[in-house]
Amino acid sequence: MSNLLSPPAGFNFSQLPSNLIPGDANPPWMSKGDNAWQLVAATLVGLQSVQALYYCMEEQSKRNGQMSFGDKLIPIWGKVDVALEQDYLFQKAFLGMFPNATMVFFQFVFAAITLILIAGALLGRMNFYAWMLFVPLWLTFSYTFGAYTIWSTAGWLSVAGIIDYSGGYVIHLSSGVAGFTAAYWVGPRSTKDRERFPPNNILLMLAGAGLLWMGWTGFNGGDPYQASIDASLAVLNTHVAAATSLLTWLILDVIFLGKPSVIGAVQGMITGLVAITPAAGVVQGWAAIVIGLCSGSIPWFTMMVVHKKSELLQKVDDTMAVFHTHAVAGSLGGILTGLFANPRLCFLFYGTSNKYYGLFYGLHDRQIHTGIRQMGLQLLGILFVVVLNVVMTSLVCLLVQLIVPLRMSEEDMEIGDEAAHGEEAYAIWGQGDRLEKSAGFSAYNDDTAGAARSGYNTSKNQVEMV
Q: Which residue has the higher pLDDT, 456 or 217?
A: 217
Is residue 63 predicted with pLDDT exceeding 60?
Answer: no
| Residues whose CB is less than 8 angstroms from the CB of residue 186 and which lie 6 or more positions away in sequence, other chains included | 122, 125, 126, 397, 406, 407
Please answer whether residues 88 and 100 qualify as being in contact, where contact means their C-beta atoms are separated by less than 8 angstroms.
yes
- What average pLDDT does the segment 129-152 reach? 94
Of 63, 103, 94, give the one whose Cα is nearest residue 80: 63
Q: What is the pLDDT of residue 295?
A: 98
What are 403-434's pLDDT values in tens digits? Answer: 999 998 877 777 665 556 666 665 554 444 54
Is residue 446 predicted with pLDDT exceeding 80?
Answer: no
- What average pLDDT does the segment 315-321 reach? 90
What's the rounded Cα separation, in Å, for the pair 139 and 133?
A: 10
Q: What is the pLDDT of residue 41?
A: 85
The pTM score is: 0.83
What's the rounded Cα separation, in Å, for the pair 117 and 257?
A: 27
CA distances in angstroms from 4 to 98, 155, 274, 421, listed in the order given: 15, 26, 34, 55
DSSP string for residues in 47-76 = HHTHHHHHHHHHHIIIIIHHHHHSSEEETT
Give the type of residue at 245: S
What are 216-249's pLDDT values in tens digits? Answer: 999 999 999 999 999 999 999 999 999 999 999 9
Residue 14 host element (H or E)? none
Give the type of residue at 78: G
Q: Which residue has the higher pLDDT, 77 or 28?
A: 28
Residues, the chain:
466
- What average pLDDT does the segment 315-343 reach? 95
Q: What is the pLDDT of residue 463?
A: 33
What's the rounded Cα separation, in Å, for the pair 406 and 391?
A: 17
DSSP string for residues in 396-450 = HHHHHHHHS-SBPPHHHHHH-HHHHHSS-SS-STTTT---TT--S--SS-HHHHH
Percent of the chain with pLDDT over 90: 54
Q: What is the pLDDT of residue 309?
A: 93
Q: What is the pLDDT of residue 448?
A: 40
Which segments of 258-367 does DSSP mark as H helices, in order?
262-276, 285-301, 307-309, 311-315, 322, 329-340, 343-350, 359-364
Q: Which residue has the higher pLDDT, 56 or 360?
A: 360
Q: What is the pLDDT of residue 77?
A: 66
What are 177-204's pLDDT values in tens digits? Answer: 999 999 999 998 877 666 666 666 777 7
Is residue 64 predicted with pLDDT exceeding 60?
Answer: no
DSSP 318: -
Q: What is the pLDDT of residue 364?
A: 94
Q: What is the pLDDT of residue 465?
A: 31
> What confidence category does residue 144 fall into, taking pLDDT thresholds of 50, 70 and 90?
very high
Q: What is the pLDDT of residue 439?
A: 42
What's the rounded Cα separation, in Å, for the pair 281 and 293?
A: 18
**What integer best gives the mean pLDDT of the chain?**
82
Is residue 82 predicted with pLDDT exceeding 90?
Answer: no
Is residue 53 predicted with pLDDT exceeding 50?
Answer: no
> What confidence category does residue 458 fall into, taking pLDDT thresholds of 50, 70 and 90?
very low
Is residue 313 predicted with pLDDT exceeding 80?
Answer: yes
Is residue 339 predicted with pLDDT exceeding 60?
Answer: yes
> What confidence category does residue 16 fall into, taking pLDDT thresholds of 50, 70 and 90?
confident
Find the distance separating the first CA and the last CA of the chain, reported in whole Å: 69
